[in-house]
Structure 1
């Protein structure tokens, strides 16, 4: 989130002393990310150590911390594991939040810095290791499996229909409605294509692997020392590998490289792979649909000028720009338009 939650810093400091045994000297809110249920901070301890604190509100899945700990224990250096609380569990409590603590890594995300050729290669190599892992049953049973749910498609279609019949007093919501009305045929076509591909994938055999599911540029951290990290394991899923492969070359990095250049470098690290073109097309469409539905909800369900709403509108409209997510998805999918 971009706006600091209504939570006094003193409460955070007191909670961390109880939950983690830390004496925190300074708390700095970081306006990062599009998730309205997550706030993040940089913490400075009295001993000079720096920490990254995530406050998670709402439903909390323990897998989001247990999985990165497991991946780090397997020697995957691109994963930053959470720091255990004094109880040994990988989170603490600060109602209505869960507190998740990490060592602070100085760096910038993939939107703020262009990935080098070596970063793309390292990214591919790390993802290959993750996809090849055998997970213990205790983890597998808590990770969702791909079911090609129509939920996001239904939600977005409902917004398209709502924008056609409803007027909005809020200026940003009214601007959104006009923007989406002008592009309703494109949006409905995306929904139709994703639905047809989902039915096809559901009826065929598929090999599922562990997928991060959300590896856009904002979840790639480049340390000041040049190291690459894959962060934010809130939504892992067992799915076809294309669930993650869609990001390289999918206009998800704001990169100066062409999609083909991204893919060429990525697969140098990932290695030879037989890519299911239907699955890749489905996941690219579905990601766009999910983003549009979430951003519509963020804008319509709230009012006022908040930075989170403005950012949501910027993200939504950027999907329709030349050479961005929608155009790239259509280029990959060779079905007639």
Structure 2
């Protein structure tokens, strides 16, 4: 659910009070898929900052992970700026404020990684997956349980859409598109459930995962450097939770064979569980359908939020995008089993 962003002047005052930063202008950054967060560029006389407002009360485990990785020598992350009280964030009522140095760089959706950067991304992710996480942090991290939550939510849309009598144009367009693609949606949900039942969780093989490392969360600074951003949802899971994004095609990028080869040249030799990889590629889409569908069927959403959700929803069905690639991974898995 999209929240109302706070007035610019109020945000400027908050940054002065809690961070001691004299900001003269703030500018909302549009385009994020998280409907419970806002990003701003904030400018002072000498520096620019990225200010993230996260709504709701959240465990600051993500910031603990950022600190852990920073202290472990992972340089390709953006470390937050401390508040005046030396904290990594400031909670103001129901809003968490996090301030970072502003990095003026495109993300992987708008700029292709070079071969060197693909290898670098592989090395970084291997380093993250190999990071030793203290028990005190492990206890607070989400752990993969292969929950049916999102599948059940999408299934609830079947009847909800059938009996919805709204004449709202966005809702009408969404229902029409949903029904046009109902066979693919059924296949995604059913295959995800089938794959989840084939997996036997092995907690000893769980590693620290970013869990959302798509192209939009990799900043391409120049021909050499990259940064991994948006550590909102770190978790303990099989490494395939992150590896499914490499070649997964989210946003119709990161879907070329030579990119995958370069990535694994950097990541190093590893054994990949194709069942888990295929599960994640299906389940991630099911989750997106659930989240976007909820936004589009909720009539209390504003039009901007709902149009943005509809755009993201439709794009998943584009050629060589996530759904086509997920189905291919499932077909390849079945074919592999047949020839064994």
TM-score bracket for the superposition, by shorter chain length: over 0.9
Kindly indicate whether residue 16 of structure 2 is the aligned counterpart of residue 17 of structure 1: yes
Q: 1:336 to 1:167 in 2, by over 3 A?
A: farther
Partner residue, 1:291: 288
Q: Could you tell me how far apart the structure 2 residues matched to 1:31 and 1:237 are? A: 27
Partner residue, 2:158: 160
Q: 1:14 to 1:117 in 2, by over 3 A?
A: same
- Which secondary structure state, in structure 1, belongs to the residue aligned with residue 82 of structure 2? coil
Partner residue, 2:338: none
Q: Could you tell me how far apart the structure 2 residues matched to 1:266 and 1:220 are? A: 14
Range with bigger deviation, 238-247 or 60-69: 60-69
Which of the numbers 242, 245, 257 marks the counterpart of 2:243? Answer: 245
Which of the numbers 258, 261, 275 marks the counterpart of 1:261? Answer: 258
CA displacement 1:42-68 (0-9 Å, x = unmatched): 11123x011110011113220121211
CA displacement 1:255-284 (0-9 Å, x = unmatched): 2x6432221111011111110000000000
Partner residue, 2:43: 44
CA contact (8 A) 1:131 1:209 kept: yes
Aligned-residue RMSD, C-alpha? 2.1
Measured after TM superposition, the shift of residue 297 of structure 1 is 1.0
TM-score by length of 2: 0.92
- Which secondary structure state, in structure 1, belongs to the residue aligned with residue 111 of structure 2? coil
Q: Could you tell me how far apart the structure 2 residues matched to 1:204 and 1:98 are? A: 35
CA contact (8 A) 1:250 1:284 kept: yes
Q: 1:136 to 1:205 in 2, by over 3 A?
A: closer
Q: 1:51 to 1:305 in 2, by over 3 A?
A: closer
- Which secondary structure state, in structure 2, belongs to the residue aligned with residue 333 of structure 1? helix
TM-score by length of 1: 0.93
CA contact (8 A) 2:49 2:99 kept: yes
Instruction: State how 1:10-89 maps to structure 2 within 5 Å.
Output: 10-46=9-45, 48-89=46-87
Q: Could you tell me how far apart the structure 2 residues matched to 1:4 and 1:162 are? A: 24
CA displacement 1:90-116 (0-9 Å, x = unmatched): 111333311101111110111121222
Q: Could you tell me how far apart the structure 1 residues matched to 2:63 and 2:201 are? A: 33
Q: Could you tell me how far apart the structure 2 residues matched to 1:267 and 1:322 are? A: 25
- Which secondary structure state, in structure 2, belongs to the residue aligned with residue 155 of structure 1? helix
Q: Could you tell me how far apart the structure 1 residues matched to 2:63 and 2:22 are? A: 23
Measured after TM superposition, the shift of residue 331 of structure 1 is 1.0
